[in-house]
Amino acid sequence: MRRSTVITIALATGFGGLLLYNTLGAQQVECSACVTFNGAENCAAASGKDSLEALRTAVNTACGTLTQGMDESIRCAGLPPQRPQCRTR
């Protein structure tokens, strides 16, 4: 294998590792929550840099299977979460 190929592979691997480390390192809190919308309930878990972001993402994820269209998604995302639980990683 040529030297330039080895250097390129090493740089790409290093960049990928750095990107993965930074992405996963930012996820400090994991939250789960349930949402009831139009008579149906769904629960989801998500992680984020703080509990507010993680909880908001969990609610949005839970709303994903309960809603159809943007209007319903926005209304569902505005509902208070049921049984929210957060833990630090």
In the chain, domain spans: 29-88
Read off the pLDDT of each residue in 9-25 and give the average, rounded to a whole number: 76
- What mean pLDDT value characterizes the chain? 88
Six-digit token string for 4? 């330039």
Per-residue model confidence as pLDDT tens digits over 60-86: 999 999 999 999 999 999 999 999 999
- Give the pLDDT confidence score for residue 27 in this predicted structure: 63
Q: What is the pLDDT of residue 22?
A: 66
Task: Tell me how far CA of residue 85 lies from CA of 1, 27, 46, 61, 82, in angstroms.
Answer: 52, 16, 11, 15, 9
pLDDT of residue 89: 73
Give bridge partners of residue 85 from the DSSP assignment: 32
Higher-confidence position of 39 and 26: 39
